[in-house]
Amino acid sequence: MPRRRLPFWPLLFVLAVASVLSVIASLAFGSERIPLTEVVAAVTDRFSGEPAGRWDVIVWELRLPRALLALVVGAGLAIAGAGMQTLVRNSLADPYLLGISSGASVGATAALTTGALAGLGLYAVSTGALLGAVGSALLIWLIATAQGGLTPIRLVLSGVVLSSGFSAIASLLVFLSDDARAANSVMFWMLGSVGGATWEKLVIPAAFVVVLAAGLLVVHRWLDALAAGPETAAALGINVAALRTALFVILSVVVGVLVAVSGGVGFVGLIVPHAARLMVGARHRVVLPVAAVAGAMFLVWVDVLARVMVRPQEIPLGVVTGVLGAPLFLLLMGRGSYRFGGDR
């Protein structure tokens, strides 16, 4: 018996409202708890022209950029995860499948352990990570095309092999470093954090996520056909090779940008697209918006938990997403039959 799907527009509206409320509520949590009434007052005072209150700087300069960056990264990873699963037709695919995160870790580790790009100041690690991510994506593209094209099996195997190699290089850089704190810094970065969020850092990842979402929605019918199989897509007149190349490029760039500003936040891009399909079906026209909003809200609350669980210290986001994501995904999968790409 087919699973009954949730109505798309009401669900999207509820998730969107819940995401906005989640951002506002998240501003109350941190190393110091702020009453929710004071949070609302700090937000409204800015728009009403009232003098800045006691919590103005904490709310507007520290916590709100952080919450919005979590929102952007969560949405971006969820959309990228859905796109990656379609690109390689693999239900276990996530945004980091192609080794982009591992390549970024090499760049970030080099910046942290060797002082490379130190002239860029606070942007040194992010820049190193972005260069590493772009370099790894380019290397995978060269390898796959040299062997006959961007087929799913070549992308998966190239990504897995190069990911192991990049991880080994990052570990070697830590081992050779004279900085005793390098291992902790690299490990924390690899597991993800949005603690360094600023208003300036929000603009670029937000723009790339919007472009990614808009681009995938424009070609949602092509993505549905590709998910059904390359033969089906070709029979419908779609240039499969061109579509795969375009998907590979845009996903690589966006994931590289997200990793550069937040590190490697795992599980979001894997579980959220599947959860969205369980709720609204497999069509990309409905999966992508639901996954984006659900991923955004999920990462906002993950960041809240990361801040308060061992206050005043913070837990890396990847730890929290793994602890929450695994049982949540198993629970969703256990509620009934589920199909992906024709597989049950």
Rounded Cα gap, residues 20 and 71, in angstroms: 10
Q: What is the pLDDT of residue 2?
A: 52
Beta bridge partners of 343: 340
CA–CA distance, 3 with 20 (Å, rounded to integer): 29
What was the pLDDT predicted at 344? Answer: 56
The mean pLDDT values, 10 residues at a time, for the chain of 344 residues are 78 98 95 90 83 86 96 98 93 87 92 84 87 92 85 88 93 85 82 91 95 97 95 95 94 94 92 92 96 97 94 91 84 63 58
Domain boundaries, the chain: 8-334
Q: Residue 1: what pLDDT? A: 44
Provide φ and ψ at 311, rounded to 5°: -50, 135
Question: What is 8-334's CATH topology?
Answer: ABC transporter involved in vitamin B12 uptake, BtuC (1.10.3470)
What is the C-alpha to C-alpha distance for residues 215 and 72, in angstroms, rounded to an integer?
Answer: 16
Instruction: Give the pLDDT score at 44.
Output: 86
Q: What is the pLDDT of residue 36?
A: 92
> What dihedral angle (degrees, nearest 10) is formed by the CA atoms of 37, 39, 41, 43?
-150
User: Comparing C-alpha atoms, which of 189, 208, 321 is closest to residue 264?
Assistant: 189
